[in-house]
Structure 1
Amino acid sequence: MVSDARVQAVRRFNRFYTRILGVLAEGMNNTPYSLTEARVLFELSQREHTEVTALRRDLGLDAGYLSRLLARFESDGLVSRDKSATDGRRQVAGLTEAGHTTMKMLNERSEAQVRALLDPLGEEDQRKLVAAMETIRERLDRTRKHGNTVVLRPPGPGDLGWVVERNGALYAQEYQWGPGYEALVARIVADYAENHDPAQEAGWIAEINGERVGSIFCTRKDNTTARLRLLLVEPSARGMGVGGRLVDECLRFATSIGYRTIELWTISVLTAARRIYQQRGFSLVSTEPHDAFAPGQTAETWRKELIDR
């Protein structure tokens, strides 16, 4: 459920940013071209020739509107159109020399506008602003949800600090857990870093396109029992099977080592994680009230008997 306050916050940002860029003005950057027209010219500049149907699909434009726009560009000498060499029923379009010159002018003016926007900011503020913009683009780019490979790897330099930071930040944001939870994560991670036995314990970081999106650890309770700890999946990667992949890898490792049982401790409000555990044969063995992170919550212990594969 998306709250009304968040909807209004996004709308405020949209109004602010369109005002900053001036995209509602009659022409972009003091040119005769609207935002849509400039985008069409940009897409054509990225390809030598393209089928008009593909251009329409990529830009999500109405066929009649795009046809009229291309006719105007052709009349102005910016675009040439012809029949496809492979299918005479299809039309291809490309920029003329004048079109490339116009696109070069639009690019230069757009870059100058962005430089003017960033110039008053200091180096650190510029870095933060660009990072925030990249975060917005990544989170809203639904194409990242498909066709991206999830890579699991051992923790490297900086990864353990990331695990502590992301656990603290995410659970404070989503469940209002206090510093007690982050302190617990820090103790678990510190103990793993200082004392873990690589022959019996392991950790994994999940990545998509080089970005860290999850983590999990398998630690030793005793000679026969392993512990699954600190399963985390970033919001941007949820629904992509990352949590299941991490748990499966933890179970494979624990089984290969020779542990007979694996246990985990969690909080009942973490319903998505609980579903993953249930699907993989974990059983709930005990519960108890737990107010250390937030009032009125219930801690749970889950267990699974391991079978050699």
Structure 2
Amino acid sequence: MTIQEIRAFNRFYTNLIGALDYSRQLHAPYTLTESRVLYELAHSPRTDAADLRGELCLDSGYLSRLLAKFEKDGLIERAPSEKDTRRRRITLTARGRETADLLNERSREAVGSLLSTVPPEDRSRLTDAMRDIREILSDASRRPPRREDVLLREPGPGDLGWVVQRNAALYASEYGFNTDYEGLVARIVADFAEDHDPHLERVWIAELDGRPVGCVMCVRDEAPGAARLRLLLVEPDARGLGIGDQLVGACVEFARGVGYREMVLWTNDVLSAARRIYQRHGFVLVDEKPHRSFGTDLNGQDWRLDLHGMG
């Protein structure tokens, strides 16, 4: 009976989202698989063919043909990996990112349209049921999470609120910060939400197993030509997977790509793990001084990265 119910649900859901009806497919002129590959490339700062093959369980020959098509269409560029020349690094071109953004927007609109038919009082029950399905099936084939399981994406509805809540809760529990810090984070996030340039400023959410586990923000600094890295956070149970490195790497790569001259950040010396990440990415300590903030005595530090030099 269980098998029949699962198959019935699969048939129902594929019909509901139009997966079998090409005339309704939101990803045209690309196939569902091609759209998924573009999505992965758009949300991962560094991806090669082996990463994609493992993440999506694709046949290597099929993936190779698919990537060749993307390259011919001007959607991707391929180059030797910086870490292993035997591997090929794949990045989206400007046209490829525009295509991926368009497909992603179509999907968001389709889901929004679907949700509009669900009474508000039933929406939390629906999302809870979906989460239960995902968690149960994930647990059934559970393996330790890997770095390649982490997805970097743009924030969706509720994610900016999560950034405020998790910063406040984690810094209170780990460093004893009071609500002054929550107020600071809330103002930073509110300023971004209300007035930011999407071409020059961005937030990344790190997602693992369908839940947010980290974040970082790149915003314009007061100094001309400078970007500021803010609000780097990784959940305790997701540490050790290199998520902080991925977030900072995405932030630096974005800032360099849009033409910033340098990237700056302010932190405190008690955040030793974060400081090691900044150092690995070439940031240099330029100033520090003691201060009392957030209900505790701290040593504040200013760090800087030359985006067009060696650091």
CA, structure 1 residues 142+277, in 2 after alignment: closer, same or farther (shift >3 Å)? farther
| Cα distance in 2 for residues equivalent to 1:175 and 1:269 | 8
1:31 is aligned to: none
What are the Cα deviations for residues 77-128 of structure 1, in whole angstroms up to 9, with x where unaligned?
A: xxxxxxxxxxxxxxxxxxxxxxxxxxxxxxxxxxxxxxxxxxxxxxxxxxxx
| Cα distance in 1 for residues equivalent to 2:142 and 2:289 | 39
2:162 is aligned to: 162
What are the Cα deviations for residues 161-209 of structure 1, in whole angstroms up to 9, with x where unaligned?
A: 0000000001100111111111110000000000111111011000011
Partner-residue secondary structure (3-state), 1:239: coil
| Cα distance in 2 for residues equivalent to 1:142 and 1:246 | 25
| Cα distance in 2 for residues equivalent to 1:268 and 1:181 | 16
TM-score (norm 1): 0.53
| Cα distance in 2 for residues equivalent to 1:180 and 1:236 | 25
Paired residue total: 176
Q: Does 1:144 align with 2:144?
A: yes
What are the Cα deviations for residues 224-269 of structure 1, in whole angstroms up to 9, with x where unaligned?
A: 1000000000001100000000000000100011111100011110
2:253 is aligned to: 252
Query: Are the equivalent residues in 1 in contact too, given 2:218–2:255 (CA < 8 A)?
Result: yes
Give how far 1:149 is off.
1.0
Query: Are the equivalent residues in 1 in contact too, given 2:177–2:296 (CA < 8 A)?
Result: no
Give how far 1:211 is off.
1.1
1:307 is aligned to: 308
Partner-residue secondary structure (3-state), 2:155: coil
What are the Cα deviations for residues 127-164 of structure 1, in whole angstroms up to 9, with x where unaligned?
A: xxxx9xxx9xx9xx994333751100011110000000
Q: Does 1:190 align with 2:201?
A: no
| Cα distance in 1 for residues equivalent to 2:196 and 2:148 | 32
Q: Does 1:274 align with 2:267?
A: no
| Cα distance in 2 for residues equivalent to 1:251 and 1:231 | 13
Q: Does 1:216 align with 2:216?
A: yes
| Cα distance in 1 for residues equivalent to 2:281 and 2:147 | 25
1:153 is aligned to: 153
1:290 is aligned to: 291
Corresponding letter in the other structure for 1:225: A
1:265 is aligned to: 266
| Cα distance in 2 for residues equivalent to 1:204 and 1:263 | 17
Can you give the 5+ residue segments of structure 1 that lack an aligned partner in the other structure?
Answer: 1-130
Report 1 or 2 for greater relative contact order, CA contacts < 8 Å, sequence distance ≥ 6. Answer: 2
| Cα distance in 1 for residues equivalent to 2:267 and 2:196 | 21
Partner-residue secondary structure (3-state), 2:273: helix
Corresponding letter in the other structure for 1:172: A
Q: How does 1:63-212 map to 2 (within 5 A)?
A: 143-146=143-146, 149-212=149-212
Partner-residue secondary structure (3-state), 1:258: coil
| Cα distance in 2 for residues equivalent to 1:147 and 1:285 | 31
Corresponding letter in the other structure for 2:255: A
Query: Are the equivalent residues in 2 in contact too, given 1:148–1:208 (CA < 8 A)?
Result: no
Query: Are the equivalent residues in 2 in contact too, given 1:224–1:260 (CA < 8 A)?
Result: yes
Corresponding letter in the other structure for 2:292: D
Q: How does 1:232-247 map to 2 (within 5 A)?
A: 232-247=233-248
Tell me how large the CA RMSD over aligned residues is: 2.8
Query: Are the equivalent residues in 1 in contact too, given 2:269–2:298 (CA < 8 A)?
Result: yes
| Cα distance in 1 for residues equivalent to 2:142 and 2:182 | 30
TM-score (norm 2): 0.53
| Cα distance in 2 for residues equivalent to 1:276 and 1:237 | 15
Query: Are the equivalent residues in 1 in contact too, given 2:288–2:301 (CA < 8 A)?
Result: yes
Partner-residue secondary structure (3-state), 2:301: strand
Partner-residue secondary structure (3-state), 2:241: coil
Greater Rg by CA: 1
| Cα distance in 2 for residues equivalent to 1:147 and 1:289 | 36
Give how far 1:304 is off.
0.5
| Cα distance in 2 for residues equivalent to 1:288 and 1:195 | 31
CA, structure 1 residues 307+142, in 2 after alignment: closer, same or farther (shift >3 Å)? farther
Segments of 4+ in structure 1 off by > 3 A?
141-148
Can you give the 5+ residue segments of structure 2 that lack an aligned partner in the other structure?
Answer: 1-130
